[in-house]
Each structure stands twice: as structure tokens, then as C-alpha cells.
Structure 1
Amino acid sequence: MSERVENRSAGQSPGTKAERRLAAQLAAKKAAEARRRRQSMLGAAAGVIAVAALIAGIVWLNNGDDDKAASTAAAPSATVPAEPTAAPEPQLPADLDPALKTKPTVEAGKGELTKLGVTTLVKGKGPAVKAGQQITTNYVGVFYKDGKQFDSSWDRGEPATFPIGVGQVIPGWDQGLVGVPVGSRVQLDLPAELAYGKDASGGRPAGPLRFVVDVLAAQ
């Protein structure tokens, strides 16, 4: 009884409270719907962005493949070997001494070797070798003191071709073979400093050496 009096005195009817409750529920419902619409719009926008990004990525990949294909088509294949350039055949002298067709027997030296020794065993009839030329040789190399062989082009079955007089071979060859007529067989006695030195590391022949060299061609 007192509650009704208080409600009337405040100017409120009995149904006003229910209406307000309903209004609050409607307002909450509208707010929830508004939130759902915003979320839906944001989700749709995110979907559009994701699709756009996916499409852009596919286009980029396709363009990359096209660029790669164009680059591959434009560039020569690295796996295709170039045609080998045949080296010119050495011109052997027509009157090559028959002795140069047989491997020589090389003996040990005698005494101490202190300087380069060049001994002509067979004198050729060709032009003298000049520094900077490519020469073709057969040779046998032995240790000067005991005559033990350490190298031979004869045993490999093919002559050796190299530039002479330009520091591409040991000094004793550069000094001893320049000026030798093509078609000659010469004996070179090399002290260690004109050969490979006194250090035998790396499998190099150390100490004084003796070579018998056939100069087959020069060009």
C-alpha cells in the first residue's frame, strides 16, 4: 500500500517500469544487431582484402614465371658445352732423326753439379727455338745422383707441349732449351736451384736432376 503511494507521488504508473524494461531490452537488441552488422561488414571487408591479396599473389607468381621463362629463353644454357677448339697439330720435321723415335737410356751424373749443363746428343736441322714459342717435346727425367727415373713423357704415351722461355716451366728448361734447333735431342743437367729446389714435399723431385729432351716442334 505504501509502495503504490510512493509510485504515485513520484508520477510513475504501475506499467511504466515494465515499459522501461522492454525499452531497455529493445535498445540492447538493436545494439547487438548493430554490432553484428559491423562485424559482418568487417568480415566481408577482410574477405575482400584476402581475396584481393590472393589474386595479387597469383598474378605476381604468374608474372614471375613469365619473367623466368623469358630470362631462360634469352640466356644460353649453361649446361651445353661449347664446341672444343682443336689445337693445331705440331709440325714435326720431315727429316726427324730416327734416334728421336726411341726412348733414350739416361744414366746418373758424376761429381757435384753446380751450374746448368746443356749437352747436344743429336743436333736437329730445324730452326732454333725462340722464347715465347710453344714447343713439343719428349723427355725422360732422372735424379742426377743415382739415375732413378721420376718422370717420362714416353711412359705416358704422348709428347708434352708448353710455352718456353716465359716462366711456365722450371728455370733450367727455360734457359737450356731456348736456342736449341728443332729436331735435337739434348741432355740438361740442372742444379737444384734451377729445378724444383731441395724440398721434396708435395712429391716433387728434389735436388739436382738430369733430363734428356727431344725437341720435336716449335711454333
Structure 2
Amino acid sequence: MSTETARPITGDRAKRRTQAVAGAVAGVAVVAVLVTVFVTVRGGSDEPAGRPAAAPPPATVEATPEAPPSAETPAEPPAPAPVSTPPELSKEPVVKAGKGKLTELKVTPLVAGRGPAVKAGQTVTANYVLIGYATGQVIDSSWQRGEPFSTPIGAGRVIEGWDKSIPGQKVGSRVQIDVPAAMAYGEEQGDLRFVVDILAAQ
């Protein structure tokens, strides 16, 4: 059994032990710094370090049907269907005077049309010749002006004789309309006779 008493470590032994402890602490610090840098560079990814991140897949463009027109956009009115106009309507009619005094509106079909029937509220395009019923004198003619006449029908925009006689007639028709003065321009103009070619209605 040793009789030496315990004494504190002094001299070279204490210096070496201090250096060893300092070295160990420095080593731990270096390892901690390396781990921090490693985690930061990898961004927390589970893939091995040094492997580039996979590029995102290219964006795909899906074909989409054309957008339907907005419900707020008013649709254009459909064009009138073409009507086969009888050859008789290609020439200006000769209109003769009537006899007597008219007491009521009278409509006489001259050429039968094959198109749809005109409806009140539609806009009618027509050629016409207007004469004095008793005299036979030409008062007005769209043929002489070189262009058809267009007007809303059945809406009070023309004389009562037209508003009451044109609706119901078929597009492509030629009709003779005898109009008493009261349903036309009054007694100053007197009774009238129209021959009207109905070219279109929409």
C-alpha cells in the first residue's frame, strides 16, 4: 500500500491535460460548424449532397375551346333567308286607275310569293308604285328613285292602309292595295292605289 498522499496535478502534466481538453472542445466546435454548413447547403433535402435538384417539369399548355360569346353581348339579328323572287318582280308594274269611290281597304294579290309571311313589327323592304285611285296619275315610285323602300310595318310608321294590308302577305309577293282616303293621307290626296312588291322582311 502506497504511503504517498494525494496531491494536486501540477507542472507539465496539468499543462498537457489543459491542452487536450482545449483540443477536444475545438474539435467538437469544428464538427458543429461543418454540420451546420452541410445542412444549410443541402436545404434540408434528403438527397445526397452534391446531386443537383431535379428540374421542375415543363409547364404544359392545355388546349381549351374558344370561349362562348358573352351573354351580355347582344347577338346580331339573323339575316333574312334568301327568297326566290318571281321574274315578274324584276320589272316596274303598270298601274291603272280604279273606278268609283273606295269605302274600304282592298288587297288584290297579283303575284304569289314563296317566302315567309310578313309579321307586324318586322322591317319590310319593298318596291312600290303609288297612283291616284281615280286619276291614275303616278304620285310616287321607288322604281323611279332607283332603290327599294324599307320601313317597320304594323308599328304606326306608315299609313294605316299599309300597316293593315302588308302583314300576312308573303315575301316575294306583288299585291295591289286600294286605300280609302281616311286610311291614307286624307281627302286632299283622296283614295290611293299602290302596287307593292315585298322583297324582304326581318
TM-score by length of 1: 0.55
Larger helix percent? 1
Residue 154 and residue 179 in structure 1: after superposition, are their counterparts in 2 closer, same or farther (change >3 A)? Answer: same
* CA positional deviation for 1:91: 4.1
For the pair 1:213 / 2:196, whether they are aligned, the reply is yes
Instruction: Report 1:159-174 matches (<5 A).
Output: 159-174=148-163
Kindly state the Cα deviation for residue 90 of structure 1 after the two structures are TM-superposed: 6.8
Cα distance, 1:93 vs structure 2: 3.8
Unaligned regions of 5+ residues in structure 1, if any?
A: 1-87, 200-205
What is the aligned partner in structure 1 of residue 69 from structure 2?
none
SS at match of 1:150: strand
Q: Among residues 133, 137, 146, which one is paired with 1:144 in the alignment?
A: 133
Q: CA 1:123 to 1:144, structure 2 compared with 1: closer, same or farther past 3 Å?
A: same
Whole-Å separation in 1 of the counterparts to 2:124 and 2:81: 11
In structure 2, the CA distance between the partners of 1:150 and 1:95, relative to structure 1 (3 Å rule), is same
Q: For residue 57 of structure 2, what is the aligned residue in structure 1?
A: none
Per-residue deviation, 1:92: 6.8
Tell me, yes or no, if the aligned pair for 1:93 and 1:216 is still in contact at 8 Å. no
Select which of 150, 156, 172 maps to 1:183. 172
Map of 2:43 onto structure 1 = none
Structure exhibiting the larger radius of gyration computed from Cα positions: 2
In the superposition, the TM-score normalised over structure 2's length comes to 0.60
Matched, 1:120 2:120: no
RMSD: 1.8
C-alpha spacing 1:207/1:92, structure 2 compared with 1 (3 Å): farther
Matches within 5 A, 1:18-57: none
> Structure 1 90/188 Cα, relative in aligned 2: closer, same or farther at 3 Å?
farther
For residues 146 and 155 of structure 1, the distance between their equivalents in structure 2, rounded to whole angstroms, comes to: 19
Cα gap change, 1:180/1:94 in structure 2, threshold over 3 Å: closer, same or farther?
closer
CA contact under 8 A between 1:90 and 1:217: conserved in structure 2? no
Q: Cα distance, 1:111 vs. partner?
A: 1.6
Percent of matched pairs sharing the same residue = 58
2:97 maps to 108
Q: Do 1:183 and 1:217's aligned partners in 2 also have CA atoms closer than 8 Å?
A: yes
How many residues are paired up?
Answer: 127
Distance 1:99 1:196, change over 3 A: same
Amino acid at match of 1:101: S
Q: Which runs of 5+ in 2 are unaligned?
A: 1-76
Match of 1:193, SS? helix
